[in-house]
Amino acid sequence: MDKLSRRNVLMAGGALAATGALSFAAPAQAWTWSAKGSVAGTGAGTDPRWVWDEQADPLVASLLDRGDVPRVNELLRTWTKNGQPLPAGLPADLRDFMEQARQLPSWVDRGKLATAYDFNEKRGLYLGVLYGLASGMMSTAIPKEARAVYYSKGGADMKDRISKTAKLGYDIGTRNAFDPDGEMIVTCVKTRLVHAAVRHLLPQSPGWEAVADEQIPISQAAMMVTWHSLPTTVMQKLVAWRVPIPAAESAAFLHSWQVGGHMLGIKDEYIPATWDAANSQAKQVLDPVLAPTPEGIALADILLGLGSVVDGGVLSKPILGSFTRFLLGDRIADWLRIPREPIWDPLLKTAWGPFIAFREGLLPFPGAPQAYWLFDEFLRKSMLLFLSEARPISIEIPQANRPS
Ligand code: HEM
């Protein structure tokens, strides 16, 4: 599937540099976000660009060096439910770490998690599309993430990678996400191990080059950037679309992602306590870093091409591209080299608002607007594309980078 070569990527980079587009990359800013706005309510204030995962990182580096990873992956394939005992035979240091990493934080609120499920159930259709096309496509315009994904093992098979990432988006929305019979804790702990492996492996990749403010990938700051591309971006869109969301559901959705962030190894002092705190942190960490990279352009192209596999037409690349442009705006769409669509672009601009209003019962139209069924079909197909990919799938610790 992947017809990209490093040469293509480098050529795209040359073209970008020539147009000056790469100079959009913002200079690193000082960390001024106060931990008072975090779920911890307090913190040392350490710049999260220089904090990684001090428990998982040395452990996974050691597993890789000791050659234990194939055996560990095989054993962990059988560990799928939150409440399930860890498989016998894991190395003792890994077992100790996982026993501790699977514990929910003391501040978890079961009531809020139950409300979050109601929200996910009611809003699943929108969430599927937003996770896929707002968060997913935005990740290709986050330079550090795009480069990490492109040069890691998963970058060579984006369909497989999407299914694994979609699993997290699916798991967090299930009724029993964090309960013993759910899977979200398992998914998070495994992902935490994967990220630790990436921190060890990527610096050895011939393609991935350390930059001044990133010698090791996936810092706590990078984690928060990606976190904001998920719940913060999704909630901002739902609010902008005027989808009615009761305050308790909005807070509950945030809570489920706060717990998710904690379980992925993000420190409580960086996880925003409220949407206001989240929006202010996103302004500081996410907005200024968005920029095009050759790797991101290449990944965006692959992602938009995945739709045709599912439906062979309705969700073809132009529609997904147009929707991405609609969600992320012209600046990002142009960075990602998404072509303008003369029919879809204006249609989405004019008809999406009334469509949502009609769908939400806010606009008492005698008949559905013309675009209604088209849009509804689009939502359903997109959902299918991005969330039905979450079939039983095993998140495994990589042992190598993308073959160069
Ligand atoms: C792997 C989710 C942050 C780069 C994964 C996986 C999941 C995931 C579910 C496992 C899927 C797989 O193995 O392919 C998340 C979430 C994040 C986050 C929810 C933040 C809230 C980041 C950041 C980066 C990153 C900040 C880079 C800057 C990667 C890479 C892999 C990975 C390179 C491994 C791909 C491979 O080689 O297979 N992530 N991630 N992630 N993630 Fe993240």
> DSSP assignment, residue 194?
H
Rounded-to-integer distance, Cα 332 and Cα 166, Å: 22
- What is the pLDDT confidence band of residue 236, given thresholds at 50, 70 and 90? very high
395 lines ligand 1 (CB under 6 A): yes
Q: What's the 262 CA to ligand 1 centre distance in angstroms?
A: 15
pLDDT bucket at 391, cuts 50 / 70 / 90: low
* Residues paired with residue 22 on neighbouring β-strands, in sequence order: none
Residue 73 belongs to a domain: no
Residue 305 covered by a domain: yes
Q: At residue 159, does pLDDT exceed 80?
A: no
pLDDT classification of 24: cutoffs 50, 70, 90: very low
pLDDT value at residue 26: 44
Predicted pLDDT of residue 390: 53
Counting from 1 in the atom list of ligand 1, the atom nearest the Cα of 167 is 9
For ligand 1, atom 13, name the residue with the nearest CA: 395
pLDDT at residue 387, as a whole number: 56
Is 92 within a domain? no
What is the pTM for the complete model shown?
Answer: 0.90
Does residue 334 fall inside a structural domain? yes
Q: Is the CB of 73 under 6 A from ligand 1?
A: no
Report pLDDT digits (tens) over 299-315: 999 888 877 766 665 56
Residue 256 located in a structural domain: no
Higher pLDDT among residues 401 and 207, named by residue: 401
Mutation pick for ligand 1 pocket among 189, 198, 228, 393 (CB with most ligand atoms within 8 Å): 198
| Buried-exposed string 133-158: b where 16+ CB fall within 10 A, e elsewhere | bbbbbbbbbbbbbbbbbbbbbbbbeb
Whole domain around residue 344: which residue ranges?
A: 294-387
Q: How confident is the model at residue 386 (pLDDT cuts 50, 70, 90)?
A: low
Q: Is 144 in the pocket of ligand 1 (CB under 6 A)?
A: yes
Tell me what percent of the residues of the chain surpass a pLDDT of 70. Answer: 85
As a whole number, mean pLDDT of residues 237-248 equals 96
Q: What separation in Å is there between the alpha carbon of 83 and the centre of ligand 1?
A: 24
Show the CA angle centred on residue 152, arms to residues 148 and 154, nearest 5°.
115
Residue 352 lies in a domain: yes
Name 350's Cβ contacts closer than 8 Å, sequence gap at least 6: none
Would the ipTM clear 0.85, i.e. be above it?
A: yes
Question: How many structural domains comprise the chain?
Answer: 1
Instruction: Pick the range with the lowest mean pLDDT from 83-92, 229-238, 300-309.
Output: 300-309
When the pLDDT of each residue in the chain is averaged and rounded to a whole number, the result is 87
Helix (H, G, I), strand (E, B), or coil: what is residue 108?
Answer: coil
Give domain status of residue 52, yes or no: no
In the predicted structure, residue 6 carries a pLDDT above the cut 50: no
Is 373 inside a domain boundary? yes
In this prediction, residues 46-58 reach a mean pLDDT of: 96
Cβ–ligand 1 contact at 227 (below 6 Å): yes
pLDDT in tens, 339-360: 999 999 999 999 888 888 888 8
Q: Which residues contact 174 (CB under 8 A, 6 or more apart)?
A: 117, 120, 182, 183, 184
